[in-house]
Amino acid sequence: MEKTQTRHSEPKLKILRSADPKTAFGQMSPAEIIEKHGLPNFLLGSSLKTKKSLGIGVLAKVLFLTPGVFCSHATQGCLEACLGHSSGRMQMPTHALARDRRTALYVEKRQLFLQMLTVEISRLEEEARRLGLVPAVRLNGSSDLPWERLHPELFREFPEVQFFDYTKVPARMERLLNDPTWPKNYHLTFSAQPHNHEAARKFLDQGGTVAVVFWPEVPQSHWGKPVIDGDKHDARFLDQAGTIVGLKAKGKAKHDQTGFTVRTAAEKAPAKSQKNRRAKNSEATIAIAA
């Protein structure tokens, strides 16, 4: 990801493309977004899967930024199918604007952004402690920022909070699996896409976990590795080492033709069943005629 230095010596990240049809990025600058729409009301939100995590004792929150603008390794298929803009309430204009406002704040007023984030994580930690749950934060709900490099202080400041993310950046997974200085409370799951299968298999052999999107059914094994149901909850840091996290395609991902979504043999079953039904009907017609 391209990086330059600002006058405050903060890394300035290049804003990339987004497939979110409702984003203001591309038409407005981050400063213009803030000037017109104001600062975000909050940073951390929830999702259906973070709510499911309550059932296994985890209180999780997610940071959703504008999908794609900080995703250096995302393919076009991933950008278009991203649940960060194509599923449920995430498609609503109000939600798209909220993501844009958070992203603009991070770009233009990073220290204020980090102050807000710190306050919200502190509140989450306190609530989890009161409820007897494990506090967890997914920082890249719809982005792929290297938080371990940009803001390592977060992991030191909240040692009891479990941070977790998905990433498509091989170098980040390499560090997670091999660098002893990697934050102990930050877990990554590698996201498979058409051009990175070799790296994905290597990470599995090294004890990492890899997420794969399937349709129409999630298989029990893939690449010779066991597949777990990744839709039961979002607490990926609890997954067994060396397993594939199977995610059933949702929204636009069901119709993906780029290879981002792995088509399973089960998809051919309906056509086969229809053929069998036609054959049986023909047999029945012949029997009646006889």
Mean pLDDT of 108-132: 98
What pLDDT is stored for residue 287 in this prediction? 35
Single pTM value for the model: 0.86
Using one digit for the tens of pLDDT, what is the confidence trace for 194-235? 999 999 999 999 999 999 999 999 999 999 999 999 999 999
What pLDDT is stored for residue 84 in this prediction? 61
Local confidence band at 16 (pLDDT 50, 70, 90 cut-offs): confident
Secondary structure (DSSP) of the chain: --EEE-TT--EEEPP-----TT--BTTB-HHHHHHHH---S-SEE--HHHHHGGGGTEEEEEE---TTTT-TT--HHHHHH-HHHHSGGGGSHHHHHHHHHHHHHHHH-HHHHHHHHHHHHHHHHHHHHHHT-EEEEES-SS----HHHH-THHHHH-TTSEEEEEE--HHHHHHHHH-TTS-TTEEEEEEP-GGGHHHHHHHHHTT--EEEEEES---SEETTEEEEETTS-S-GGGSPTT-EEEEE--GGGGG--SSSEEEPGGGGHHHHHHHHHHHHHHHHHHHHH-
